[in-house]
Protein backbone atom coordinates (compact mmCIF):
# COMPACT_ATOMS: atom_id res chain seq x y z
CA UNK A 1 0.00 0.00 0.00
CA UNK A 2 1.34 3.38 -1.00
CA UNK A 3 1.17 6.35 1.34
CA UNK A 4 -0.95 9.28 0.15
CA UNK A 5 0.88 12.01 -1.76
CA UNK A 6 4.01 9.88 -2.02
CA UNK A 7 4.71 10.52 -5.68
CA UNK A 8 7.89 8.67 -6.66
CA UNK A 9 9.40 11.85 -8.10
CA UNK A 10 8.60 14.13 -5.15
CA UNK A 11 8.58 13.88 -1.41
CA UNK A 12 8.98 16.22 1.55
CA UNK A 13 11.87 15.42 3.87
CA UNK A 14 10.19 17.56 6.53
CA UNK A 15 7.04 15.40 6.50
CA UNK A 16 7.20 13.44 9.76
CA UNK A 17 4.04 11.46 8.98
CA UNK A 18 5.27 9.79 5.78
CA UNK A 19 8.73 8.37 5.28
CA UNK A 20 10.20 8.41 1.78
CA UNK A 21 10.51 5.08 0.02
CA UNK A 22 13.86 3.41 -0.58
CA UNK A 23 13.53 4.31 -4.26
CA UNK A 24 12.95 7.97 -3.39
CA UNK A 25 15.95 8.02 -1.06
CA UNK A 26 18.08 6.32 -3.72
CA UNK A 27 17.03 8.93 -6.28
CA UNK A 28 17.79 11.72 -3.80
CA UNK A 29 21.26 10.34 -3.03
CA UNK A 30 22.05 9.99 -6.74
CA UNK A 31 20.87 13.54 -7.40
CA UNK A 32 22.97 14.90 -4.54
CA UNK A 33 26.04 12.97 -5.70
CA UNK A 34 25.63 14.35 -9.24
CA UNK A 35 25.33 17.90 -7.92
CA UNK A 36 28.40 17.45 -5.70
CA UNK A 37 30.40 16.16 -8.66
CA UNK A 38 29.23 19.08 -10.83
CA UNK A 39 30.18 21.66 -8.21
CA UNK A 40 33.51 19.95 -7.51
CA UNK A 41 34.39 20.14 -11.22
CA UNK A 42 33.51 23.84 -11.31
CA UNK A 43 35.64 24.50 -8.21
CA UNK A 44 38.54 22.43 -9.55
CA UNK A 45 38.44 24.16 -12.93
CA UNK A 46 38.49 27.59 -11.23
CA UNK A 47 41.34 26.52 -8.94
CA UNK A 48 43.42 25.23 -11.85
CA UNK A 49 42.80 28.42 -13.84
CA UNK A 50 43.93 30.55 -10.88
CA UNK A 51 46.95 28.30 -10.32
CA UNK A 52 47.99 28.58 -13.97
CA UNK A 53 47.60 32.36 -13.81
CA UNK A 54 49.73 32.52 -10.65
CA UNK A 55 52.41 30.33 -12.21
CA UNK A 56 52.40 32.48 -15.34
CA UNK A 57 52.74 35.65 -13.21
CA UNK A 58 55.68 34.17 -11.27
CA UNK A 59 57.35 33.04 -14.50
CA UNK A 60 56.83 36.47 -16.05
CA UNK A 61 58.21 38.30 -13.02
CA UNK A 62 61.24 36.02 -13.08
CA UNK A 63 62.04 36.98 -16.66
CA UNK A 64 61.65 40.70 -15.96
CA UNK A 65 64.48 40.78 -13.41
Report in angstroms the alpha-carbon separations of 19 from 2, 4, 10, 42, 64.
Answer: 11, 11, 12, 34, 66
> Has residue 1 got a pLDDT over 50?
no
Q: Give the residue-averaged pLDDT of 8-32.
A: 87
- Specify the pLDDT at position 59: 94
Is residue 4 situated within a structural domain? no
> Has residue 29 got a pLDDT over 60?
yes
> What is the number of domains present in the chain?
1
Which residue range is the domain that position 63 belongs to? 38-65
Query: Which has more confidence, 8 or 52?
Result: 52
Q: pTM of the full predicted structure?
A: 0.67
- Specify the pLDDT at position 10: 76
Is residue 63 situated within a structural domain? yes
Quote the CA–CA distance of 59 and 53 in Å, as a whole number. Answer: 10
Amino acid sequence: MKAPNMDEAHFDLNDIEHEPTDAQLDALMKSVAEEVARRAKIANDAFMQNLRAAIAAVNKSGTDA
